[in-house]
Structure 1
Amino acid sequence: MGELKNCPSCGDFFNYTGIRDVCNNCAVNEEKLYETVYRFLRKRENRAATVERIVEATGVEEALLHKWVRKGRLQPAMFPNLGYPCDNCGKLTTQGKLCISCTEELKSGLRQFEAAQEFREKVSKPEVTYHKNQRI
């Protein structure tokens, strides 16, 4: 059973089942726009077109192009200048939610945090020294 949602494109109510994130009318319109973009990109001279060039030539919104790349409908392997913005810095990426530099920065920060945590644990543990009682 789906849930009633507002279509983010037109504002109408639709039954959201998890398959499409827009109403049926907007989905049909998006599909027509997708066909327009795909016909444009299939031409050899347009395969290396940037997102800005595709928007200019087809009139499709940039957000829609990003959505199609995210969902895998437009493959960056076939169209090398396509991508979607990194959730952190906005630089174009082709996989995941973060670009490579933000991913590396995050990993570096985690390594530093883990090293600092290890150090704090080591320092906070009292060193126990056992002395053997010697009789003189």
Structure 2
Amino acid sequence: MAEIRNCPSCGEFFNYTGVRDVCYKCAQREEDMYQIVYRFLRKRENRAATVDRIVEATGVEEEVLYKWVRKGRLHPAVFPNLGYPCDNCGKITNKGKLCQDCQDDLKSELRTFEAAQEFREDIKRREKGTYLAEQKD
């Protein structure tokens, strides 16, 4: 079911149905900007353009470019210098929410945490062990 939301770009009310996150007018404006960017990137000499170069040449905001890469409208496989900021450190990545360095750090911290947890559980098991008292005859 649709709900009424304010467009994050222009502030107008629109029916949010889950398809678009902006109003119709802003979606049309984004589509026009996308066509400009896509025409720019289709030229062989511009395929390796960085985000800064695309912003400079087309006037499209960085955040909009990042949104298109996240949604898969612009593919880093075709345009190798495109990406979006890592949610943790801000380094440019082109898949997932975290860059490879942050993923590796997180995995390392998880391994350390799991090892510490296993160590604590092992100590609890040892302390809980059964003690037998010697019988004297």
TM-score, normalization: structure 2? 0.94
List per-residue Cα deviations over 1:61-82 (Å, max 9, x = no partner).
0000000000000000000000
Q: Name the structure 1 match of 2:21.
A: 21
Q: Name the structure 2 match of 1:44.
A: 44
Q: Name the structure 1 match of 2:68.
A: 68
1:130, distance to aligned residue in structure 2 (A): 4.8
CA distance in 1, matches of 2:129, 2:30: 69
Gaps of 5+ in 2: none
CA distance in 1, matches of 2:133, 2:49: 79
CA distance in 1, matches of 2:67, 2:135: 77
CA distance in 1, matches of 2:128, 2:74: 60
AA aligned to 2:105 is E
Q: Name the structure 1 match of 2:95.
A: 95
Q: Name the structure 2 match of 1:12.
A: 12
Output the aligned Cα RMSD.
1.4
1:81 aligns with 2:81: yes
AA aligned to 2:33 is L
CA distance in 2, matches of 1:114, 1:133: 38
List per-residue Cα deviations over 1:27-66 (Å, max 9, x = no partner).
0000000000000000000000000000000000000000
TM-score, normalization: structure 1? 0.95
1:134, distance to aligned residue in structure 2 (A): 5.9
AA aligned to 2:43 is K
Between the aligned residues of both structures, percent identity stands at: 70
AA aligned to 1:43 is K
Q: What SS is found at the alignment partner of 1:14?
A: strand
List per-residue Cα deviations over 1:70-122 (Å, max 9, x = no partner).
00000000000000000000001111110010011011101100100111111
CA distance in 1, matches of 2:84, 2:25: 25
